[in-house]
Structure 1
Amino acid sequence: MQIKVGPVFNRNISTTKQYVISISLIGIASIVSYIFHDYIGYRAVALILLLAVSLSAMLFDILPVLICAVLSALILNFFFIPPLYTFKIASAEDVLMFLMYLLIAMINAVLTIKIRQFEDKKRSEEEKEKTIALYNTLLNSLSHELRTPISTIIGAVDTIVDNEEKLSKESIRELYAEIGTAGNRLNGQVENLLNMSRLDAGMLKPTFDWFDINELVFNAVKESNYPATERYVIFEPNDDVSLLYMDGGLLEIILYNLIHNAMQHTPPKSNVLIDCNYINEKLIIDISDNGKGFPKEEIDFVFNKFYKLDATATGGTGLGLSIVKGFTEALNGKITLENKKTGGAHFHIEIPSKTSNIQIAEDE
C-alpha cells in the first residue's frame, strides 16, 4: 500500500483551504498548549507548535507553511514566553530559543520547496527511490548538524544564566566564544542549503566585475577561522592575479568551501597550500594539503550531493564540494581532484577570465 502526501494530496485542496487548514492546525496546537502550559512549560510548547508547522510542511504549499511558521513564532512569543501577553522577551536564553525556533520553522519551509521540486521531477520508480534516499540523507545530516550547535548555544546560555555570579569573566568569555562558534557553524549549514537551492533551481546568474583575487583568498581564509583549528594555511600573493574579471562572490564561496573542507578532514598541525596563477587567459587555483587524502575508489563521487566519507568523524551535510563544483561550472570553469603521491588531496581549478594590464604609478 502506498500513502501519498505533498503535491498529490494538495492538488485536491484549494489555496484558500490550505491557508484555513494550516492556520487551524496552529490554532488548535496553541489552544491545547495554552490549557496545559502550566504543566509542560513553554519549551515543550515550542516543540508542539513546531510539530504543527512540520505537519503543514508535509501537506501544503510553501506560502501556507511560511504563514504557519511566522504565526506560530508570534504566538509562542506573545502567549508563552515570559513576560506574557507582550512581544518583549526578558532573558537572553529565551531570545536565543525564539530565534532558533523561527530558524528551524523557516528551514522546514525551504525543505518543502525542495521536496516539491524533486517530486515534480519524478518520472519513474527508480527516480522516486533516489529522491527518498537523498532526503533521508539530508534530514539525517541536518538532525545532527542543526541540533549540535543549537544544543551548544542553549547549554552555554543556561550555564551563564544559572551561574553568572559564580563564573569568572574569563569563563564567561569562553562560553560566549562557544556560542559564537556554534552560531557560525549553524549559519554555514544554512548558507550551504541556500546555495544548493540556487543551483538546483537554476537561479544562479554570475555577476562579473574586476576583483583582486589575492584579496578574495585572504577573505576566504579569514572566514574559515583557521587559527582556531590548529591547521596552517600557506598562501603567497601573486601579482599576476591581482585584478581579474570575475564573479568575486561565487569565487570566494568556492575558496571558503575548499579551505573549510581541508580544515575538517586533515589532522592537527597539517598544512593547506593555496596557489593562484593566471595562464592562457585562465585563473588557475591549486589547493592541496598533507592529510590522508581520499580513498581512491571514492574520488569519482566526492562532488556528489550529500557525499561524506564513511570514516568521517567530523560533521557536515556533504554539500560543500558539490557547491564548489556547481559554482565553478557556473563560471564556465572546471575542477579536478587527485591524491598527492606524498599524501594529501589536491584540488585543481581552471576558470576563464580576463585580466587588466593597467598599472598605475604611485605618484601619478
Structure 2
Amino acid sequence: MNVAYLNTIKKEKQYLWVLLSILITVLGCFLLKNVINYKIVALILLMLVSIHAMFFTIKPTILSAILSALTWNFLFIPPIFTFHISNPEDLLLFIMYFAVALINAVLQFKLKKIEEKAREKEEKEKTFHLYNTLLNSLSHELRTPISTIIGSTDILKEYEEKISIENKHLLLQEIQIAGLKLNHHVENLLNMSRLESGLLIPKYEWCDINEEMFRFIKNNFQNNKRIEFQANDDLPICKTDIGFLEQIVINIIKNALQYTPEEKPLQIQLGIDHQILHVSFQDYGNGIPEEHLPYIFDKFFRVPQTITGGTGLGLSIVKGFTDALNGTIEVKNIQPNGLKFDIFVPVETTYINNLKNE
C-alpha cells in the first residue's frame, strides 16, 4: 500500500467527517428551531466550519463552508425548505455568512502552512546545530587517536632497528588504545543511527547476568581495578538481549570512568524483583548539577565546564537501548558526592530458579 493511496484514504475520511458533523449539527439545530433563532444557528455552523479549518485540509473545509451555508439557507432562513430568500436583510446575512466561512477556511489553511514552514525551519536549524555539534566533537575525538596511530606507526617504521623492545611494546599499546577509542566512537555512531531508524529489534536469549557482567568488564575494560562488581548468587537465569545490555553497561561505565577522579571506584550491583532486572551503577565523582540532570540523555549534550572528551552520545545510547528493552532508567545525585544510575529491565526467569529462590 503506497503513500499516495494512504493520503487519499485520509482525505476521504476528512470529507466523511465533514458530512457527518454537519448532518449531526444541522439535525440538532433543526430539532431545536423553535427554541433557537436561525441567526444563532448561523453562529453555531460558523464555529463548526472554524473547527474543520483547524483540523482538515483546504478542500474539505471549503466543502464545509458551502454545505453549511446551503443547509442553513434551506432549513432555517425563511421561507424554509427553499433556497429562496425574500428578506433583503436575510440575503445580506447569507452572503456575509458565506464570505466569512470561506475567508475563515482560507485563512486557517494559510496559517497552518505558515506554522508548518516554521516547524520545518526550526527542525532544520536544530538538525544543523546537532550535526555541527557532532562534527565539532568528532573532529577532536577522532583526530586524536588517528594522530596517535599514524605517529606511532611512523616511529616504528623509521626507527625500527633503534627502538628497544620495551618502547616497541609501549608504541603498540598506544596504537591498540587509540584503535579501541576509534572503534568505540564509530560503534556509538552506528548504534545511534540504528536506534533512530528503529531497525534494532531485541533478540532474547537465556543467560547468566553475573557471568555476562564479568565478561563485559573483562573484554572492554581489562578488569579495571576501579570497577567493583560482586556477583549476586541469588540472581536467576534471565532471558534478555545480551547485546543491548552490553551496550548499556559499556557506555555507563565509560562515562563514569571518564568523569570521576582516577582514585574513585565505580560500584555495580545486580538485583531482581518481580521479574524486573535492576542494574545500578554508583560512582563517587562530583555528580551533576540538578538543573542539568533532565538533559543528560539528550544527544550531544555535555554538562557545561566539564573536561573535554566524548561526543555526548554515550548516555543517549544507554537511554535508547533501555527503551528498546521496554525498560526505564533513573539518575540521581548521591550525597555527599557521586552519581547513581538505576536501570530497570523486564526479564523472563527460569522456572527452576524461581523454585530455588522460593
Q: When the two structures are superposed, what TM-score results if normalisation uses the length of structure 1? A: 0.63
Aligned to 1:202: 198
Q: Runs of 4 or more off by more than 3 Å in structure 1?
A: none
* Cα pair 1:281 1:353 within 8 Å, conserved: yes
Aligned with 2:276 (options 277, 282, 289): 282
The residue aligned with 2:9 is none
The one of 286, 293, 300 aligned to 2:294: 300
Q: Partner residue of 2:263? A: 269
The CA distance in 2 between the partners of 1:342 and 1:355, in whole Å, is 37
Q: Do the aligned residues in 1 keep the contact of 2:149 with 2:174 (CA within 8 Å)? A: yes
Query: Using the alignment, how far apart are the partners of 1:274 and 1:265 within structure 2?
Result: 16
Gaps in structure 2 of 5+ consecutive residues: 1-116, 354-358
3-state SS of paired residue (1:349): strand
Shift of 1:163: 1.2
Matched residue, 2:214: 218
* 1:20-59 equivalences in 2 (<5 Å): none
Partner of 1:106: none
1:256 to 250, 256, 263: 250
Compared CA separation, residues 224 and 311, structure 1 to 2 (3 A): farther
SS in 1 for 2:352: coil
Partner of 1:238: 232
Partner of 1:155: 151
2:345 matched residue in structure 1? 351
Give the Cα–Cα distance (whole angstroms) in 2 for the partners of residues 335 and 326 of structure 1: 10
Among residues 342, 346, 354, which one is paired with 2:336 in the alignment?
A: 342
SS in structure 2 of the partner of residue 309 of structure 1: coil
1:226–1:232 contact (8 Å) kept in structure 2: no
Query: Do the aligned partners of residues 242 and 137 (structure 1) sit closer, same or farther apart at CA in structure 2, a change above 3 Å counting?
Result: same
* 1:9-46 Cα deviation digits (max 9, x unpaired): xxxxxxxxxxxxxxxxxxxxxxxxxxxxxxxxxxxxxx
Q: How far is 1:356 from its partner? A: 1.2
Q: Which runs of 5+ in 1 are unaligned?
A: 1-120, 360-364
The match for 1:178 is: 174
What is the root-mean-square deviation of aligned Cα atoms in Å?
1.7
Counterpart of 1:129 in structure 2 is 125
Answer yes or no: is the 8 Å Cα contact 1:261–1:320 preserved in 2: yes
Larger radius of gyration: 2
> In structure 1, what is the Cα distance between the partners aligned to 2:305 and 2:219?
26
**How far apart are residue 227 of structure 1 and its match?**
5.4
Please give the secondary structure, in 1, of the residue aligned with 2:234: helix
Deviation at 1:296, TM superposition (A): 1.4
Counterpart position of 1:97 = none
- Is it true that 1:327 corresponds to 2:312 in the alignment? no
Listed one character per residue, the Cα deviations across residues 53-95 of structure 1 (whole Å, up to 9, x for unaligned) are xxxxxxxxxxxxxxxxxxxxxxxxxxxxxxxxxxxxxxxxxxx
What is the DSSP-based 3-state SS (H/G/I as helix, E as strand, rest coil) of the residue aligned with 1:358? helix
| Normalised TM-score (structure 2) | 0.64
Q: Would the alpha carbon gap of residues 314 and 216 (structure 1) be closer, same or farther in structure 2, given more than 3 Å must change?
A: farther
CA distance in structure 2 between the aligned counterparts of 1:168 and 1:178, rounded to whole angstroms: 15
Q: How many angstroms apart in 1 are the aligned matches of 2:340 and 2:222?
A: 18
Size of the aligned set, in residue pairs, is 237
